[in-house]
Amino acid sequence: MKSQSFSGISGAVLKWTAVITMFIDHFALAIYYTALHNDFTIRPNYSQYYEIMRNIGRTAFPIFIFLLIEGYKHTKDATKYMIRLALFAVISEIPFDLAFHNKLWYPEKQNIFFTLLIGIIVIYSIEQFKKLLHSRISSSYVMPAIEVMVYAGLISIGCAAGYYLKVDYSYVGILAICIVWLLRDKPIIGMILCCLSLLLVSKRELYSFIAILPIIIYNGKRGKQNKYFFYIFYPVHLIVFWGIEKIFIL
């Protein structure tokens, strides 16, 4: 019997990788830090464990960006895709604020679904403007310059929205999403530039480059998954973390 050769990993495996690393990161921030940060100075190993968990978590966002673009490329209805992101952005905001700030409403930071939503709105807007331009302008000399201006203008507006709305990863998150989309036909180059852009947030984002490794072996297949599970997991795990904080820590 011939042994089956390795055929890469599916989108489902990528999602689980992102979810698990995100869970570790959020556990470190919401539970571990809340419970033990007062001991960091007298027990340096506590601080080291915290840093390790936060560094592991840096791989989650680049993978989520990659999967976001993959989902957008294959969706049959972009409007429904954006509505779904908007719905879970709203649903997740209170759990996000409770888990990380112990408040029902904390306007200084919005959850990651808002970042993903703004990124997709920018991409969708670019595509619609591009269609409009091609229907109105026939000159092959003028079109590239106009397209560059449209791209730059809409991406700038998206980045400004991310900054002023104070979404997770701020304007850098929007820029990273747009980079991966612009280089969707060269995904590895796109991911390298995406991770480079994330360094604008923090030097810790250097660990985001680890995310490129599983993406390199992505086989383009969806795999077995329930897409709503991954949406629902985000607010649920945050509210569970807040519950643990209230019962056992605070």
Q: What is the pLDDT of residue 151?
A: 93
pLDDT at 1 > cutoff 50: no
Q: What is the mean pLDDT of residues 133-138?
A: 73
| Run of H or E residues at 145 | helix 143-164
Q: How far apart are CA 232 and CA 207, in angstroms?
A: 26
Q: What is the mean pLDDT of residues 28-41?
A: 93
Give the range among 28-42, 84-98, 108-122, 159-173 with minimum mean pLDDT: 28-42
Residue 5 within a domain: no
* Burial group, residue 141, by CB count within 10 angstroms (0-12, 13-18, 19+): exposed
Share of the chain above pLDDT 90, in %: 83
| Domain hosting residue 154, numbered range | 11-249
Question: Average model confidence (pLDDT) for the chain?
Answer: 93
CA angle 185, 188, 193 (to 5 degrees): 100
Other residues' Cβ atoms within 10 Å of the Cβ of residue 84: 18
- The answer to whether 241 and 28 are in contact (CB under 8 A) is no
pLDDT at 250 > cutoff 80: no
pLDDT digits (tens, 9 = 90+) for 222-238: 888 887 899 999 999 99
Q: Which two tokens stand for residue 64?
A: 């989520």
pTM metric for this prediction = 0.94
Q: How many domains does the chain have?
A: 1
pLDDT at 141 > cutoff 70: no
Q: Kindly give the residue spans of alpha helices, DSSP state H, lying in 165-211.
A: 170-182, 187-198
Q: How far apart are CA 245 and CA 30, in angstroms?
A: 8
Q: Which two tokens stand for residue 83?
A: 């509505």
Q: How far apart are CA 42 and CA 103, in angstroms?
A: 29
Amino acid identity of 40? F
Q: How confident is the model at residue 7 (pLDDT cuts 50, 70, 90)?
A: confident
Residue 4 within a domain: no
Q: How far apart are CA 119 and CA 126, in angstroms?
A: 11
Angle formed by the axes of helices 11-27 and 227-244, nearest 10° = 10
9: which strand partners?
Answer: 218
Q: What is the pLDDT of residue 138?
A: 64
pLDDT digits (tens, 9 = 90+) for 50-107: 999 999 999 999 999 999 999 999 999 999 999 999 999 999 999 999 999 999 999 9
Q: What is the mean pLDDT of residues 21-32?
A: 97
